[in-house]
Amino acid sequence: MKSQEDQPLTLVQLRENANLTQMKLAIAVGVSITTISDWENGKAEPRLKHVRLLVEILGCSFEDLSQAFEQAKRRS
């Protein structure tokens, strides 16, 4: 069994690590708060243009972001 340290970060954790609220991230990316919530809950995935912005804004790698979305989908 994997330890918690081995688990990929969630999108919520990536956002919180960047000291952003859902509202601030939504404004920075140009989407609604509902869209951010849907991404965090695995109900939707961002378009490529949004992925590029998220990597920049959250200061994470594409791999970290991809793993966060995969984890959200599994939890939904």
Q: 53-64: per-residue pLDDT in tens?
A: 999 999 999 999
Distances (CA, A) of 43 to 26, 37, 59: 16, 8, 23
All structural domains of the chain, each given as residue ranges with its CATH number in brackets, are 11-75 (1.10.260.40)
**Residue 9 has what DSSP assignment?**
P
pLDDT score, position 3: 39
pLDDT in tens, 5-41: 567 899 999 999 999 999 999 999 999 999 999 999 9
Q: How far is CA 14 from CA 1, 74, in A?
A: 23, 17
